[in-house]
Amino acid sequence: MKSCFFSFVLIGLFSLIIASCSKDRSEQMWVAQISIIQEKSLIEVFQNIDVKALRSANESKNNIVGLIVQNSLANKIASFFFFKKNVDIRSKFINDQLGLITLGLLFTAREYQEAASSHTVQSARAVMPPDPWTCFQAAVSTVMGLTQAQALWQSIVGGATVQTVVDALILIGRRVAGVISVGLMVVAVGDCLGWWN
């Protein structure tokens, strides 16, 4: 298992080195890749990430491993919206894994809110904390600001469409957040909600 993981990391590192040698900047663009996913909810998408690799990348400040995990997560989020919500959001998040992961977290919070209001849990492994929004708010607001995070949340609770929230995220603009910051945001929410217990 470890040798497979390290081979994956070495291949990723080699690919990044090759890509960085390119003179044409357009070849370096990241666009989410769509693939069929098994997860039935965004809660499950986040529960099923490689949290050990993400924690390790956060602790060692290893941007390459963190980027590999984040790209995989961003791809799953884009795939979820494509197959489960019938919305292709890839073109809105070119080179913006942070925006895509933030969108995923915000709609995951919505899933918790909907589950609480209907007294059902959409994922058998989901644990309902007293107020899930506090977990999301603390993490997401460090990336986009508390006022903007609260405004987006109110839009989502009010029934805003995916496209409306995507447009709002684009208007807020891409914040400067490193790979480790995004990893810490995801781990903070997951720990708060008990996703990996």
Digits of tens for pLDDT over the chain (197 positions)?
555 554 444 454 444 454 444 444 444 688 999 999 999 999 999 999 988 988 888 888 877 888 888 899 999 999 999 999 999 999 988 888 888 888 898 888 888 878 777 755 544 444 555 577 788 887 777 767 777 778 887 888 788 888 888 887 777 655 545 666 778 888 888 888 888 87
pTM of the model as a whole: 0.73
Which tokens belong to 8?
């994956």
- List, as one string, the DSSP characters of 9-62: HHHHHHHHHHHHT-S-GGGG---PPP-----SSHHHHHHTS-HHHHHHHHHHT-
Amino acid at 98: L
